[in-house]
């Protein structure tokens, strides 16, 4: 029984897609750059490329499965610390093959829930970190493998109770409005109280308030007819007007 | 005497003019506050969920203060023209009470506006959006959905709100299928995402990348400053008119 030839080591390093995608790393998924033309020199038409996903601290201990029947499934990830998924025909990774520029690991929630036996691209159960590599499998076992990727750490979401909703600083507008309005209100209240108090004080002391009132409510003027000058009595002859040369009569009012 | 008469007439004229302005401003304040209370931008459920809807209370106070100012200005005009001490005393006291209410409304609107930070809305959205238990959360959910659909925005600061924090939404929607809600995706005419994979990955053009805080804070700012600063201006004017009225009142003879 001859030992199978060890798989060829390809220099390609898998990495998270360098494109500007907001969702390329979430809490349970990540998006890898699609390898193009990496396996062309080693792949036949019937070969398949698998993605090996392992916890970063378990990647060194991973052993390639000798055949397709020994491929570790998705649901053994917590115990076996690795699994293989995304079985794709090698032709899909050739230079000219069409397809999306990223491979999303963890996008299939249905196979997780229904527990199918097929290679399952289920969501990752913990933030990791994980390392991945591609493995080209033929009928006789693994034929080529890429290098392990750098550790990929998924997002951890914080609790919303850590959000502090208090404003950073007290707004100055509130202080301005409050202080100005409060002082205006105080002045008005003082003025009203002062005016009412002065009136009450005045009515208690029976002081005549009419002396400094500038407004008479009703202009009741007593109509005094102007005095008419009386006619001169006939006995008084005044040569310059107003001067009477008096006759021997008793003076009569001129 | 003639000069004093002229001064009195000028003072009466000024007071009548001041009261006319107060009446018109009262009508304007009522109209403005009715506009805000009628919830034109659909933001009222979000403000109510903050457990103190003070801006709304300030607007309601503004409606009644505006009507009171209109009625009191008519009373003031009659009192000044007839030079009646009783009418003017009633006017002054009622105007002081209205001043106090409007002062409370202004300060409340300004202070509440300061408390509406992005973190405040983030916390409320993460804790309440799509939470099914208390029945009033469905209003919050509907308000957020409409906000995100109409303004083509996502979250408060962006879709990463849903990734950085846990949420009530995350409890019912898995991270792999729903990195962010479907309303954050660019939707076609039928209301379905143009590209679901593109939206989940965060490909530019298939999801709404900007946050909704600008769409919220714009109308809320207008609302708060409309109530607070306009009320402040009216109160300053009322202060001057009241001082003049008190001076006029103290000069009227019985």
**Residue A251: is its pLDDT beyond 50?**
no
pLDDT band at A221 (very low <50, low <70, confident <90, very high): low
Q: Are residues B21 and B100 in the same domain?
A: yes
Q: Are residues B90 and B164 in the same domain?
A: no
The answer to whether residue B58 sits within a structural domain is: yes
pLDDT score, position B68: 94
pLDDT score, position A227: 60
pLDDT score, position A217: 52
Can you tell me the mean pLDDT for A176-205?
87
Per the model's pLDDT, the better-predicted residue between A207 and B27 turns out to be B27
The answer to whether residue B149 sits within a structural domain is: no
Contact B103, B38 (CB under 8 A): no
The Cα–Cα gap between B230 and B206 comes to 43
Cβ–Cβ gap B123/A214 under 8 Å: no
Q: Are residues B13 and B112 in the same domain?
A: yes
Q: Which of B163, B250, B253 sits opposite A26 (nearest CB)?
A: B163
- Quick one: which of B95, B111, B103, B21 has its CA closest to B61? B103
Per the model's pLDDT, the better-predicted residue between A192 and A170 turns out to be A192
Closest chain A residue by Cα to residue B106: A177
Q: Are residues B196 and B237 in the same domain?
A: no
Q: Which of A20, A157, A181 sits opposite B107 (nearest CB)?
A: A181
Find chain B residues with C-beta within 8 A of A109's C-beta: 174, 176-177
Q: Are residues B101 and B167 in the same domain?
A: no
How far off is chain A from B242, nearest CA to CA, in Å?
A: 8
The Cα–Cα gap between B64 and B129 comes to 35
**Residue A241: is its pLDDT beyond 80?**
no
pLDDT band at A13 (very low <50, low <70, confident <90, very high): very high
Predicted-assembly ipTM surpassing the 0.90 threshold:
no
Q: Are residues B21 and B94 in the same domain?
A: yes
Q: Are residues B188 and B242 in the same domain?
A: no
pLDDT score, position A246: 47
Q: For chain B of 254 residues, list the mean pLDDT of each consecutive stretch of 10.
A: 76 94 95 86 77 77 93 94 90 93 89 85 89 78 90 92 91 90 90 89 90 89 86 93 90 72
Low-confidence winner among A74-78, A115-119, B16-20 (lowest mean pLDDT): A115-119
Find chain B residues with C-beta within 8 A of A29's C-beta: 175-176, 179
The answer to whether residue B123 sits within a structural domain is: no
pLDDT score, position A223: 60
Domains in chain A, start-ordered, CATH in brackets?
A: 8-157 (2.60.40.10)
DSSP A28: S
Can you tell me the mean pLDDT for A142-163?
90
Task: Give the torsion sign (CA, B150, B126, B142, B180).
Answer: positive
Neighbours of A91 (CB within 10 A): 17
**Beta bridge partner(s), residue B195:** none
pLDDT score, position A206: 62
Task: Give the torsion sign (CA, B202, B204, B205, B210).
Answer: positive
Q: Are residues B90 and B173 in the same domain?
A: no
Cβ–Cβ gap B250/A171 under 8 Å: no
DSSP A93: G
Find chain A residues with C-beta within 8 A of B233's C-beta: none
Q: Are residues B61 and B96 in the same domain?
A: yes
pLDDT score, position A117: 65
Domain ranges, residue B41: 7-116+223-251
Beta-carbon pairs below 8 A across chains A and B: 159
Q: Are residues B33 and B57 in the same domain?
A: yes
Q: Are residues B19 and B106 in the same domain?
A: yes
Find chain A residues with C-beta within 8 A of B229's C-beta: 177
Q: Which of A24, A157, A213 sits opposite B201 (nearest CB)?
A: A24
Cβ–Cβ gap A155/B164 under 8 Å: yes
Average pLDDT, chain A: 79
Total domain count, chain B: 2
The Cα–Cα gap between A163 and A186 comes to 40
Determine what percent of chain A is predicted with pLDDT higher than 90.
Answer: 18
Write out the DSSP string of chain B: -HHHHHHHHHHHHHHHHHHHHHHHHHHHHHHHHHHHHT-TTS-HHHHHTTS--HHHHHHHHHHHHHHHHHHHHHHHHHHHHHT-HHHHHHHHHHHHHHHHHHHHHHHHHHHHHHT--HHHHHHHHHHHTT--SSTTHHHHHHHHHHHHHHHT--SSS-THHHHHB--HHHHHS-TTT-SS-GGGB-B-TTSSBS-HHHHHHT-TTSB--S-SHHHHHHHHHHHHHHHHHHHHHHHHHHHHHHHHHHHHHHTB--
Per the model's pLDDT, the better-predicted residue between A185 and A241 turns out to be A185
Q: Are residues B205 and B168 in the same domain?
A: yes
pLDDT score, position A51: 92
Determine what percent of chain A is predicted with pLDDT higher than 70.
Answer: 78
A 208-247 near B (Cβ less than 8 A): 209-210, 212-217
What is chain A's length?
Answer: 254
The answer to whether residue B239 sits within a structural domain is: yes
**How much is the pTM?**
0.75
Contact A23, A159 (CB under 8 A): no
Find chain A residues with C-beta within 8 A of B8's C-beta: 214-215
């Amino acid at each position: 029984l001859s030992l199978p030839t060890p798989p060829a080591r390809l220099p390609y390093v898998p990495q998270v897609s360098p494109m500007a995608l907001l969702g390329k790393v979430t809490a349970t998924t990540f998006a890898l750059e699609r390898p193009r033309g990496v396996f062309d020199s080693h792949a036949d038409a019937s070969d398949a490329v698998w993605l090996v996903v392992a916890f970063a601290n378990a990647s060194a201990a991973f052993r390639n499965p000798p055949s397709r029947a020994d491929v570790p499934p998705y649901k053994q990830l917590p115990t076996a610390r690795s699994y293989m998924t995304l079985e794709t025909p090698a032709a899909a990774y050739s230079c000219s093959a069409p397809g999306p520029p990223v491979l999303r690991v963890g996008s299939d929630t249905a196979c997780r829930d229904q527990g199918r036996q097929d290679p399952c691209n289920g969501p990752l159960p913990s933030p990791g970190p994980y390392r991945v590599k591609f493995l080209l499998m033929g009928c006789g076992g693994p034929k080529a493998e890429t290098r392990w990727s750098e550790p990929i750490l998924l997002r951890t979401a914080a609790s919303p109770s850590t959000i502090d909703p208090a404003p950073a600083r007290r707004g100055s507008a509130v202080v301005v409005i409050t202080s100005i309005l409060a002082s205006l209100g105080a002045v008005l209240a003082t003025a009203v109280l002062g005016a009412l108090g002065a009136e009450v004080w005045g009515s208690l002391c029976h002081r005549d308030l009419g002396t400094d009132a500038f407004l008479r409510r009703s202009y009741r003027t007593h109509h005094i007819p102007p005095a008419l000058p009386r006619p001169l009595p006939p006995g008084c002859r005044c040569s310059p007007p107003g001067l009477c040369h008096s006759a021997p009569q008793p003076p009569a009012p001129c | 005497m003639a000069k004093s008469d002229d001064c009195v007439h000028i003072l009466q004229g000024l007071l009548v003019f001041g009261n006319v302005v107060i009446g018109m401003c009262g009508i304007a304040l009522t109209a403005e506050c009715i506009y805000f209370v009628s919830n034109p931008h659909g933001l009222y459920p979000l403000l109510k969920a903050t457990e103190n809807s003070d801006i709304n209370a300030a607007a309601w106070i503004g409606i009644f203060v505006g009507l009171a100012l209109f009625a009191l200005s008519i009373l003031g005009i009659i009192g000044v023209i007839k030079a009646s001490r009783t009418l003017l005393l009633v006017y002054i006291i009622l105007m002081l009470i209205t001043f106090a209410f409007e002062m409370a409304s202004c300060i409340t609107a300004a202070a509440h506006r300061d408390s509406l930070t992005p973190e405040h809305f983030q916390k409320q959205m993460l804790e309440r959006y799509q939470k099914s238990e208390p029945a009033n959360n469905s209003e919050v959910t509907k308000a957020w959905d409409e906000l995100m659909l109409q303004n083509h925005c996502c979250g408060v600061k962006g879709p990463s709100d849903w990734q950085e924090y846990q949420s009530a939404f995350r409890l019912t929607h898995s991270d792999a299928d729903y990195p962010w809600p479907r309303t954050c995706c660019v939707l076609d005419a039928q209301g379905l995402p143009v590209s679901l994979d593109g939206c989940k990955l965060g490909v530019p053009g298939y999801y709404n990348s900007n946050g909704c805080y600008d769409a919220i804070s714009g109308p809320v700012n207008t609302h708060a400053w409309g109530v607070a600063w306009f009320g402040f201006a009216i109160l300053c004017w009322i202060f001057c008119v009241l001082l003049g009225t008190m001076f006029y009142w103290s000069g009227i003879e019985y």
